[in-house]
Amino acid sequence: MSYETVIWEQSGGVGRLTLNRPDTLNAWTDQFGRELKDVIEGDAAQESIRAVLVTGAGRAFSSGADLKAGFHPAEDGMPDIRRELHEVYHPVIAGVRRLPKPVVAAVNGPAVGIGCSLALACDLVLAAESAFFGLAFVNIGLMPDGGSTAFVPPAIGKARAFQMALLGERVPAAQALEWGLINWIHPDAELLTEAEALIGRLAAGPTRSYASSKQALNRFIYGDLEAQLELEAELQHALGRSKDFVEGAAAFVEKRQPAFVGA
């Protein structure tokens, strides 16, 4: 299948998924999310694929949702964020966790918002020295979604999870490694070489062993991920009707500081 916003390549047992909207730092749109879903549920799920590598084209892994593209309106005229999460965003995240094979993220730049969630949904994460992570949702009056409320706390603990969620600050790669958010850091020029070596090793490994480990760890660490994604969707949908989100999104597009009123 041919895609416009992502690149899918296969060689041997390795599948390579490249997020391919470099002019927007690989920001998510409706089409982008649906093509990601098609890859994760279709191409990557083939038995011939034994390990999957995810990275971003250009200067970023993913900068999050494309706010300039906006959201489809609900019946009340406000953003239908519940629909977007149910149909575009969360199927990708859940699909990565369900794949019975290792999924590796090679984070080559900013991984922010839903981009951060996608990186953390992967089983193993390598990052370039210049990469950074962030749950920047709060900066536009929203809350973390994409499963990040499930992925972050077990990795870094309560104090740091609240710090990421409430302050929305950048977490540089070195700090992310120290916190336990990611597995390895490599010099920018060496990231893909190291990622290729790792994904090749996994593709040559015991696939059924990996699948069983992933299933058991999913159950113990994340419990009912589907329920958590549902909760995120409901809470986020309500926030999409807040004055603070309207102001936050406008401020982001206009490149100014938002003036939140707490409503």
Average pLDDT of every residue of the chain = 96
Residue 169 sits at φ, ψ, to 5 deg, of -85, 160
Task: State the pLDDT at residue 96.
Answer: 98
Number of domains in the chain: 1
pTM to 2 decimal places: 0.96
CATH code where residue 155 lies: 3.90.226.10
> Could you say which residues of the chain have pLDDT below 70?
none
Of 37, 52, 18, whose CA–CA distance to 88 is shortest? 37
Tokens 């309500």 correspond to what residue? 238
In-domain check, residue 113: yes
In-domain check, residue 242: yes
In-domain check, residue 59: yes
The model's pLDDT over 200-257, given as tens digits with 9 standing for 90+, comes to: 999 999 999 999 999 999 999 999 999 999 999 999 999 999 999 999 999 988 999 9
In-domain check, residue 221: no
Domain that holds residue 36: 6-189+226-254
In-domain check, residue 10: yes
Task: State the pLDDT at residue 224.
Answer: 94
Using an 8 Å Cβ cutoff, are 240 and 71 in contact?
yes
- Coil, helix or strand for 136? helix
Using an 8 Å Cβ cutoff, are 37 and 92 in contact?
yes
In-domain check, residue 205: no
CA–CA gap between residue 28 and residue 18 (Å, rounded): 13
CA–CA gap between residue 105 and residue 17 (Å, rounded): 10
Task: State the pLDDT at residue 173.
Answer: 98
Q: CB-side exposure of 141: number of CA atoms within 13 Å?
A: 24
In-domain check, residue 1: no
Using an 8 Å Cβ cutoff, are 125 and 104 in contact?
yes
